[in-house]
Structure 1
């Protein structure tokens, strides 16, 4: 339910999916989908500076700290800040308060995937094909607290792994059972559920309706990014459909 629950030792032989709907994993997916050469999710400003100094060309720096833009950075946390015209062929270093730290906390995983509502069906499709023996879906949360929007992402993924609710003999923890039990109520109207979350209400009330709809567009992307050696790379979801790129925004 939160990144603070991650046990590095327990996940060492597992596949892990990290979800931070507002906004880290959604924005990371968008940056990668819009043609960035390399994308580095980092857990601190210090790590961002170290990686940036090691690159042959000046990267794009983006993200937030405590929900505020970072002084001296090129971009903030919003997906529309990273159009193809800006990121295509460029290296991007991205740091956030919760999402990229959740990825860092799960770095010991055998396989580490980046999930959100936009690519939830593709992530589930990949997992069904890969059939990992151990799977953890990690909701980044916010400041150590549960967030509905991240849980909604987990619901969208886990319900597709077991749409019948039979569980196929899988051993589930209580959070996974809750996600499956919530699938019909939350999954019938994911955008509506997203809008009712605390963060969703903020976006709706602060003239961010377009961002809210972009974030809540379940299945808009067929891209499944994973983290390897500190940067994103593309996994084959096995989907017959080509990924739909995120729209370029001003």
Structure 2
């Protein structure tokens, strides 16, 4: 008999109780935009990627680690002065690996909320298949906690759908049990998948990105569902690509 593994979805980062993640595998999701941008950064040759809570924290990391790579950041949807906007459509591929630092209102702070977990992964619709595969094949935590970054303390539909993607990949596997929130997330994912994710373009975060001129980033993410083959894992204070393939 297999020991059952519990899959839980938290609808926003503010619900995380850090001390309860010590023996858990945690997954942070911020579809629009942070975890999608991080997936593309790794795909395009930026490795490692550091996450920061805000611009000042990012500068502290840059100084401490003596980094000279890409600096990306936003606060409440607006670009931070001196930083590139964390939009995957603006990222250029590099021939030689270099570092990047990213800070955001929601996604990178969600990473900070989960950094005491036994294992910490980052997922989005573009690479959720890779994360689910790793969870099933390479982790043995009894509890998998999927953390939706949310939007400044509020629910974000696109993150919930991203959580449902992971749940759907694990659904037919043996020895998993799912919280009610995980089951509802899967329902939301299946509905959006059947509609080619067009409903995500009508949600609150989508409006914010359109108003700030970054609508193309959402199109890229939707066009790239499960097409970015990276496995972002938080290791020793930075995110690295542990691609299985």
Query: Is TM more than 0.5 here?
Result: yes
Give per-residue Cα distances to partners, 1:18-65, cap 9 Å, x unaligned.
Answer: 000110001111111111132101113232122111233423211101
How far 1:229 moved relative to its partner?
1.2
1:106-142 deviation digits (Å, cap 9, x = unpaired): 0001110010010011111222212532101110000
Contact residue 11 and residue 106 of structure 1 kept, 8 A: yes
Q: Which deviates more from structure 2 when the two are superposed, residues 60-69 or residues 136-145?
A: 60-69
Q: Verify the 8 A CA contact 2:29 2:162 in the aligned structure 1.
A: yes
Report what 1:137 is aligned to: 146
Q: CA deviation at 1:10?
A: 1.0
Shift of 1:103: 0.3
Alignment partner of 1:25 out of 35, 38, 43: 35
Which residue among 219, 227, 235 is the counterpart of 2:226?
219
Deviation at 1:237, TM superposition (A): 3.4
1:101 to 1:190, Cα distance in 2 relative to 1, 3 A: farther
Which residue does 1:54 correspond to in 2? 64
RMSD: 2.1
* Aligned residue number for residue 16 of structure 1: 26
User: Higher strand proportion, which one?
Assistant: 2
Q: 1:9 to 1:55 in 2, by over 3 A?
A: closer
Matched ranges for 1:185-196 at <5 A: 185-196=191-202
The CA distance in 1 between the partners of 2:151 and 2:217, in whole Å, is 19
Q: TM-score, normalised by structure 1?
A: 0.85
Distance in 1 (CA, whole Å) between partners of 2:154 and 2:128 is 22
1:4 to 2:14 alignment: yes
Contact 2:44 2:92 in 1 (8 A): yes
Equivalent positions of 1:1-250 (< 5 A) are: 1-73=11-83, 75-85=84-94, 88-132=96-140, 133-163=142-172, 168=174, 170-203=176-209, 208-216=214-222, 217-237=224-244
Say if 1:131 and 1:229 are closer, same or farther in 2 by CA, change over 3 A. Answer: closer
Of 216-225 and 188-197, more deviation after overlay is shown by 188-197
Matched position secondary structure for 1:171: strand
Q: How many positions carry a matched residue from both structures?
A: 233
**1:78-111 superposed Cα distances (whole Å, 9 cap, x missing partner):** 11222114x8432211100100000000000111
